[in-house]
Amino acid sequence: MKHEVGDLINGTPKTNTLRGVTYYELVHTLGQPTYNEASELDASQVKWVIEWQDEVYTIYDWKTYDREYTIDELNTWSIGSKMPSHAFEEAIINLIYNNWGVNNDWGVNWKHYNISQIK
């Protein structure tokens, strides 16, 4: 079933920060970003939308205004959600540093929205 991803992420302001993680580590772990083009006013260049433990989270760059910088140099990402969750941040870090990616079975119930699921 296709979801209106924009509706899912309404009301998910920044609640946490993911530090020391590159774009390439996120792509390896989560797959391609849900939104892979600059947002309105270039506030973010890429954004992942993830549903985990019945909550919706976003991981995105914020106001870098530069796609090349975001992809090649950025290592501090914003996490958006309706409720702050350090457990989500820890789960992402564990996935990255344990080299568990989208092609591995890591036993975590999550849903990554990709562009084909956007109406």
Rounded-to-integer distance, Cα 61 and Cα 26, Å: 12
pLDDT digits (tens, 9 = 90+) for 22-32: 999 999 888 89
Rounded-to-integer distance, Cα 13 and Cα 22, Å: 21
Name the average pLDDT for the chain: 79
Contact yes or no for 60/46 (Cβ under 8 A): yes
Listed range (42-51, 56-65, 99-108) with the worst mean pLDDT: 99-108
Rounded-to-integer distance, Cα 83 and Cα 64, Å: 25
pLDDT digits (tens, 9 = 90+) for 62-89: 999 999 999 999 999 999 998 888 888 8
Task: Show me where the domains of the chain are located.
Answer: 5-117
pLDDT digits (tens, 9 = 90+) for 82-93: 888 888 888 888
Q: Show the tokens assigned to 38.
A: 């600059």
Task: Tell me the residue length of the chain.
Answer: 119
